Every structure is written in structure tokens, then in C-alpha cells.
Copies of this chain bind each other. A is one copy, B any other.
């Protein structure tokens, strides 16, 4: 399946006049990436007997949309690097990032509109609702950077909007194209939500406990950046005083010796058993996802690709 998807994206080109607008789009969409959203969309469609040609354009559309959000997020977050290459606002400039991003959002719609379906209205409504929620998620993420009090519930709501709904939406859209029954679509959507939450919590965990060689980035970066991840929020929730105050103070500081800070935070995490708690939370999300996949009224063989995905993600080290 991933071969098919790689081929689709290798062969899809976006370049036309004015080049100043479309070159950054071509660049962004040929940087690679896991293409997990097109995979979910096409897999859901196949599960219910759909043919790949029935969703080819939509699969591109969902990836174009995802890359639009990355492009604008990178500008808002001032991230210099994406997939090992300079981000658009760094390679070109801010205005290019804004306008090429806007155009990608519009292009995503072109792909969906080019993919006929008797359920197109439902598909477009789902896509649009998802797009709005992703924007809301990014806003909450930015809000949380400036807020002292963020609860675990707040955090879960934020990552549901910022990350999970697009995975869930990709599955739902794929199933809609295949004409799947409503109840099954709902279960697949919930499967996607829990998968997305598990994936984000894993990202948080790997930042502290990933194998550097395999994870590919320096561990503890979230701590250095004072990022409010599930780990620190869980630690703040469970830490007794005065440990909680110390942790708060650490996450409000940017000391010259960042390594010492990271070490001290890890000591606290260890004392509180945070690693185990987060692993349990991840396992719980995967278990929820599995329950929803089980509830889909299809023969077991149809579910194999998504079961394989869960199995490979549960063991991921990067």
C-alpha cells in the first residue's frame, strides 16, 4: 500500500504560473513524509470494497491539506527545519509561506472536488469540519504556551483537535467514498481519534525515553523548550509539594546548563513513575482504538492492515 502511495506522490506535480506561488508548494509536497493520512484514507476505502482509483484524488487532497497546516504552523512556531530541509518561510520568506499555504488549502479542495461520489457533500462537510478543528487545535496549542494552568484534560482536547481528528477524518472520508454503513464509519472515526491520541502521547514519551539513535533527535528537547507535554502535566498532577513547585520553576526557566535541568526533570519523573504512567495511558488509547476496530462489521481479514498498523505503532521507537 505504501508503495502505491509513494508512487502517487512521486508522480503528482503542482508547478504552474506564477512560479513564486507554486514552487514552494512543489517543494513542500516532495519533501516526503510518512503519508499516514493518505494511507488511512485508502485503507478505509479498501476495507469496504472500494477501489484505489475511487479515492486517488482525495488521498492527495488530504495530504495537501496536512502539508498546508505544517507550512503555516512552521511559520507561526518559527521552526527552521522540516523533514531535514529548511521550512518554506526560511527558504523563501514569510509572505511566501502565508500565500503558498493559502493556495495549498484551496488546492486540497480541488482534489476533493475532482473525486466524484454520491456522498460528496458529506465528505466535504467532514473535511471542512476537520479543517476548522485543526485550526482550533493549533490555537489551543499556542494558547497553552502562554498559560500557566493547563490540565491533562485541556491537553488531551488540544491534541485531539490538532492531531487526532485529521487521522480520524481521513479514515471516515475513505469509508464514505466506499459507501460504508454509518455505524462502521463512526467506529472507524473513533479508532482514528484514539490512534491519534496514542501517537501524540508516544511522541511526548519518546522525547524523554526514546533511543536517540533510533528516534533521530536529541532527547529531552521538550524539557529544554519548556513544552507542556503529557509527561510534565502528569508529573505536575501527581507530584506532592514542594516537588511540584520545583517542577513548575524548572519549566519556567531557561538555565545556561540545560543538561542539568533535563537530568533533574528526569529524576523527578523517575521518582513519580511518569514513564510507566504514560506507557499505561498509551496502551489504554491503543486498547480503545482496538475495541472500535473490533466493532466494525467486517470479516477479520479486512481489518488486518489497521491491526498491523496498531501493532507496528505500539512498538515504535521513533
A interface, by DSSP: helix, strand, loop or mixed? Answer: helix
Given A113-B125, A124-B124, A142-B95, decide whether A21 and B135 contact each other with a Cβ distance below 8 A: yes
The B-contacting residues of A in range 65-119, CB under 8 angstroms, are 72, 75-76, 94-95, 98-99, 101-103, 105-107, 109-110, 113
Q: How far does the Cβ of A93 sit from chain B's closest Cβ, in whole Å?
A: 10
A-side interface size class: 20 to 34
Q: Are B18 and A99 in contact (CB under 8 A)?
A: no
Q: Are B95 and A143 in contact (CB under 8 A)?
A: no
Chain B residues lying within 8 Å of A136, measured Cβ to Cβ, are: 17-18, 21, 103
**A139 interfacial by beta-carbon distance below 8 Å:** yes
Report A29-63 CB contacts with B as 1/0, cut-off 8 Å.
00000000000000000000000000000000000
**A11 interfacial by beta-carbon distance below 8 Å:** no
A72-B102, A75-B98, A106-B135 are known; give 15 further A-B pairs, CB within 8 A: A20-B139, A20-B142, A76-B99, A95-B142, A99-B139, A99-B142, A102-B102, A103-B136, A107-B132, A109-B124, A109-B128, A110-B128, A110-B132, A113-B128, A120-B121
**A274 interfacial by beta-carbon distance below 8 Å:** no
**A140 interfacial by beta-carbon distance below 8 Å:** yes
CA distance A135 to B18 in the complex (A): 10
Q: Are A102 and B143 in contact (CB under 8 A)?
A: no
